Amino acid sequence: MTDVLFFLALAVAFLAYALLVFGLVKLFTQRQINRRLKQTHSAQSMSAVREPLQVQPENAWHSLLLSMSKLSVPDGDWQNSQLRLKFIRAGFRGPTAAQSYFTVKTTLTLILPLLMALVILTWSPATTYARLALYAVTLAGIGYYLPDIYLRWMTSRRSDEMRDTLPDLIDLLVICTEAGLGMDGAINRVSLEIVRSSKTLAEEFNLAALEIRAGSGRSTALKNLALRINLEDLDGLVSMLVQADRFGTSVAESLRIQSEVMRMKRMQRAEEIAAKIPVKMLVPLIFFIFPALLSVLIGPAVIQISAMFAK
């Protein structure tokens, strides 16, 4: 059994090095192709040749990101899938966000087991190969899923921030619509004012305002807004605005009712968190505070009783 685990660890290490070498070879190959194209073609022919190669980055850092990310990029049209939507909901919308994410995933998967192996072989060379292989596989799994955990945490933090600020934003919408602004102008105005409370929510509504200004329909822009944010409260708000726009009902009155409902939900969430505090306090009370109190209260009596029996 030990020999099997030893050969398994060797196979995993060889595969990790092979993937790393493959990424570096792809990087240097692409750089050589770009260098030859620059030397053999004129500026006019070069612009024509580069059109199908626009996905290739131009500098060395982007080339490294692209080469390393290819080792973890899933198959298929992932840019139009739920994975791309996760990047948008987490706030990563740069041109190299996906490449950076998959590069970090690949690097952690390969580097963490190698670092662990170096540390163990340096400080504890008597470690068995079976335990070393177990540590390597565990750290490789942790390194692979650690970026996913960070992505979920960023999405959750953004959602909590926007959920707490959404009632204030609806109040601003009510004020703007009652002051005579149309819904398009109100969305644009609110995106500028709410930045003091939540920059994330202001950015999302600013994108919706830009979509409307670019010619997209109001219903389409609001549905895209709800898709990017993915909040139940905002889904209800978008549905209400779309229905009010379709049937011609009073937007200000509907927004006021929606704001009251959201404030009630926010109060209920706060009460729920407060109700969970006594249960969460049981663990530190039982394991940390009660033993200290018992040692202070019973300790002197125990000392006196032990002294009496000693005599």
What are the tokens at 250?
């009073």
Q: What are the backbone angles phi and psi of residue 77, rounded to the nearest 5°?
A: -85, 75
Residue-level pLDDT at 257: 82
42-46, 184-188, 216-220, 235-239: range with lowest mean pLDDT: 42-46
Closest CA to 220 of 247, 242, 201: 242
| Confidence band for 174, pLDDT divided at 50, 70 and 90 | confident
Region for 75 from its dihedrals, namely left if φ exceeds 0, alpha if ψ lies in -120 to 50, beta otherwise: beta
35-49, 158-172, 199-213, 257-271: range with lowest mean pLDDT: 35-49
Cβ-count burial 238-247 (b if 16+ within 10 Å, e if not): bebbbebeee
- Whether 51 shows a pLDDT value over 50: the answer reads no
- Whether 295 shows a pLDDT value over 80: the answer reads yes
What residues contact 289, with CB distance under 8 A and at least 6 apart? none
Where are the domains positioned within the chain?
A: 2-158
What DSSP character marks residue 71? T
pTM of structure: 0.64
- Whether 97 shows a pLDDT value over 70: the answer reads yes
Q: Is the alpha carbon torsion for 200, 204, 207, 213 positive or negative?
A: negative
What mean pLDDT comes out for the span 244-267? 81
- Whether 230 shows a pLDDT value over 50: the answer reads yes
- In this structure, the dihedral spanned by the alpha carbons of residues 21, 27, 28 and 32, taken in order and rounded to 10 degrees, is 150
